[in-house]
Amino acid sequence: MSTQKMHIDSYERNWMIVSAVLLVLFATAVSVAAFGLGIQVPAPEQRVDPRTVATDPNSPWSNPGLREVAPGKYDAYILARAVPTWEYLPKEMTIPAGSSVSFYVTSSDVQHGFKIQDTNANFMVIPGQVSKLTITFDKPGTYNFICTEYCGSGHGVMYGAITVTP
């Protein structure tokens, strides 16, 4: 009973080797993109109290908007909310081409999403957490940002726009 050896057919062995090599290749590609090219996912930034984040005068989200922190460098404090209505504050922003914008997004009620079309910015917005991602806008145009997580009946109308001027 203890003499059985594991029998693997040669075709099957080759298939398993090819599968393993493929998966290692994929994992390598993802790792190179993450650590070589710096295409990274969001990291913990800051925690806030969702009950007061929009009203506390010391909270940047009590006065959401775009702040220029250095020439061509901006911080965008954005509040996502479903109550009293589904919207981002601010809804519209304008920046010159070549600007680098760090987005700091949080929610004062339920979970939301934040996806800027035609960019790599796409993340969850969770009450109590601040989501941060930095994007450089080189091409002029209008970039819609849309809500990508169900947040109630108005989820589908929740969006805003960034205008990048030449």
Partner 1 sequence: MNQYQVSPAEKKFIGSHLLVAILALAVGSLFGPLQAFEHAGWDFYPYLKPLIKSYYQGLTVHGVLNALVWTTFFIMGFLTFNVIFGLKRPLKNPTLNKVGFWLMVVGVVTAAIPILANQATVLFTFYPPLKASWAFYLGLTLVVVGSWVEGWGLFMTFYAWRKENPNERSPFIAFASVVTALLWQICTLGVATEILTMLLPWSLGLMENVDPQLARTYFWFTGHPLVYFWLLPAYISWYAMLPKQAGNGKMFSDTLARLSFWMFLVLSTPIGIHHQYVDPGVSPTWKFLHSMFTFGVFFPSMMTAFTVVASLEHGARKNGGKGALAWIGKLNWSDPSVATQLLAGILFFFGGIGGLANASYNVNLVLHNTAFIPGHFHLTVATAVTLSFMGISYWLVPYLTGKKLWQPKWATIQAWTWFVGMIIFSNSMHVLGLLGAPRRVPLGLAPYVPAEWNSRLIQVGIGGAILFVSGAIYLLVMLKTALNKETVEKEVEVPIAESMQDPANTPVWLDRWAPWIYGALALIVLMYGPVLFEMISNIALNAPGFGKGPIW
Residues that bind partner 1 (CB under 8 A): 1-2, 4-9, 11-12, 15-16, 19-20, 23, 26-27, 29-31, 33-34, 39-45, 47, 49-51, 82-84, 109-111, 113, 115, 117-118, 120-132, 144, 146-153, 155-157, 159
Please say which residue, 45 or 72, places its beta carbon nearer to partner 1.
45
21 or 96: CB nearest partner 1 = 21
Query: In the chain, what are the helix, strand and coil shares in percent, each to the nearest 5?
Result: 20, 40, 40
Write down the least CB distance from residue 96 to partner 1, Å: 23
Q: Is 123 in contact with 147 (CB distance < 8 Å)?
A: no
Closest by CA position to 109, among listed 52, 154, 163: 52
CB of 82 to partner 1, least distance (A): 6
Phi and psi dihedrals of 30, rounded to 5? -65, -40
Least CB distance to partner 1 at residue 99 (A): 20
Closest distance of CB 87 from partner 1, Å: 12
Residue of 84, 87, 96, 82 whose CA lies nearest to 138: 96
Task: In whole angstroms, give the CA distance from residue 113 to residue 105.
Answer: 10
